[in-house]
Structure 1
């Protein structure tokens, strides 16, 4: 694979449903009711039930590891949480879209990948960057 500054990763679109949130809560042990109870979520000022931040972060990392073909190639990963992914209580859930582009080639055979992660047209992760080892 030839990689240069500006190389774009394939777009990844993931649907997140309430059932996904339940599975993630079980796997992570994070049973905070803002991730499954509308009443609690709105009482604390959220627009509704939101996806776990680390779940959203994991979706974005998946776009990078699919592109590299090797999860171990992901050497560093940083994000800031911008907006929550609001997950409606319906069959469609929320859509999370991940786009990435190589922003820099580093001297040590690695590349910086800049990610744009959105849901419903709003950026949900900011300053999302991954450092990957190139084959």
Structure 2
């Protein structure tokens, strides 16, 4: 298991490593069902097209979970996610790849909080943008 980053070891402007997420039909359908989102646009291609979409597309709960995974993968298992604030843009369709990127944009000594700006893009542009606030231990663990 990777160590948890220490608050003092993180600098504003630090760039997180990219994470590429292949967007399979199975991922989109399974995660929608796992999050109890039974909207047909997340599992029925025909009905999704009837509603104006090119195919089924990922739901916001999955996007939120992938942003969480991205940041905690960088921060480590002892990091505590305090807030995720995201906005959706272009849909995530099967067959695409979403590439998550991030940058440390702020640090607050009170509570050892770190703010990370995140962005997930696919062939259509930005799928998800926002910020994540994590609380880190004083030293790496």
Is the Cα contact below 8 Å between 2:23 and 2:93 reproduced in 1? no
> Residues 64-118 of structure 1, C-alpha deviation per residue, up to 9 Å, x if partnerless?
001111265211111011121122xxxxx22111101100111311111000111
State how 1:1-135 maps to structure 2 within 5 Å. 1=5, 2-70=9-77, 72-87=79-94, 93-108=95-110, 109-120=112-123, 122-126=125-129, 128-135=130-137
Count of residues in Structure 1 that have an aligned counterpart in Structure 2:
129
Ranked by relative contact order (alpha carbons within 8 Å, sequence separation 6 or more), the top structure is 2
Structure 1: where are the runs of 5+ without partners?
88-92
Normalised by the size of structure 1, how large is the TM-score? Answer: 0.87
Q: Counterparts of 1:71 and 1:16 in 2: how far apart (Å)?
A: 28
> Residues 22-63 of structure 1, C-alpha deviation per residue, up to 9 Å, x if partnerless?
321331221211112222111111122111121122112111
**Secondary structure of 2:15's match?**
coil
Normalised by the size of structure 2, how large is the TM-score? Answer: 0.83
Is the Cα contact below 8 Å between 1:53 and 1:84 reproduced in 2? no
Report runs of 4+ in structure 1 exceeding 6 Å deviation. Answer: none
Is the Cα contact below 8 Å between 1:10 and 1:63 reproduced in 2? no
Root mean square deviation of aligned Cα: 1.6
Q: Counterparts of 1:54 and 1:71 in 2: how far apart (Å)?
A: 23
